Amino acid sequence: MNSSTARQLLEINRKFYDQFGPHFSATRKKLQPGVKRILETIQADESVLDLGCGNGNFLRDLTRRGHQAALLGVDFSLPLLRDAESTPGVVFCEADLSQLPVFSSQLSVEDGWNVITMFATLHHIPSMETRLDILRTVKKILNPNGRFILSNWQFLNSEKLRARIQPWDRVGLDANDLDEGDTLLDWRSGGEGLRYAHQFSAEELAGLADQAGMRVLDSFLSDGESGNLGLYQIWG
């Protein structure tokens, strides 16, 4: 994928979350079952960096459990961060994760983060090159014995979501310029919007982990009525 197409895809999502952030946040008041499962594995003394923190619900639940170590949430969407910032004991910052290598030094902690999470976020990052830049940076700021935990939307597992797939000419792009798995989906709450997402396979993610200098320690499906709308993985 060329850089111009990647920028267009990022801009599609930026516009979506600027316009529909409050509506999106309203649909994300409860943690997904897979996220709850991950929550149970995090110890109170582990520092946690949540990349793509959205409205902060994951970190908010950690504080409710009496978390004692550093908690930091990062997201580019100001409408979502406005909801997140009402959480005491958590630091939030606005930043574009596609530029993570540029500002990663501002996120570093002594000895590296014990846990870095990235729930439902990597699938909004276009191009193999940009994803690898982000993942290699995650590896750099992660404690040597730390865990990177991510989830990715498996929207093709849902007939309802497949019906929301839109042609690329709606945003002035040619399907031939996109990578396999790249998809344009519509949104129907509070008006009609469009957003970009990438459908990852477990094999594709394993390849990314390897190229980023990590390996997949665990993998499971969760979420949705059928329990297969989120692919969760733990890397180390």
**pLDDT per residue as tens digits for the range 8-67:** 999 999 999 888 866 676 666 689 999 999 999 999 999 999 999 988 889 999 999 999
- Strands of the sheet with 91-94, listed across from one edge: 91-94, 71-75, 48-51, 113-119, 142-153, 230-235, 216-222
- Strands of the sheet with 193-198, listed across from one edge: 165-166, 182-187, 193-198
Average pLDDT of the chain is 92
Q: Looking at residue 213, what is its pLDDT?
A: 97
Give domain 3-235's CATH superfamily: Vaccinia Virus protein VP39 (3.40.50.150)
Locate tokens 């030094």: which residue? Answer: 105
- With a CB cutoff of 8 Å and minimum separation 6, the contacts of 178 are 1, 5, 168
**pLDDT per residue as tens digits for the range 166-203:** 999 999 999 999 999 999 999 988 889 999 999 999 99
* Backbone torsions φ then ψ of 164, nearest 5 degrees: -95, 0
DSSP conformation class of 179: P
**pLDDT per residue as tens digits for the range 143-169:** 999 999 999 999 999 999 999 999 999
Helices (H), 28-77: 33-39, 57-64
Radius of gyration of the chain (CA): 17
Dist CA 209 CA 113 (whole Å): 18
- With a CB cutoff of 8 Å and minimum separation 6, the contacts of 190 are 20, 22, 23
Q: Looking at residue 26, what is its pLDDT?
A: 63
Dist CA 70 CA 27 (whole Å): 27
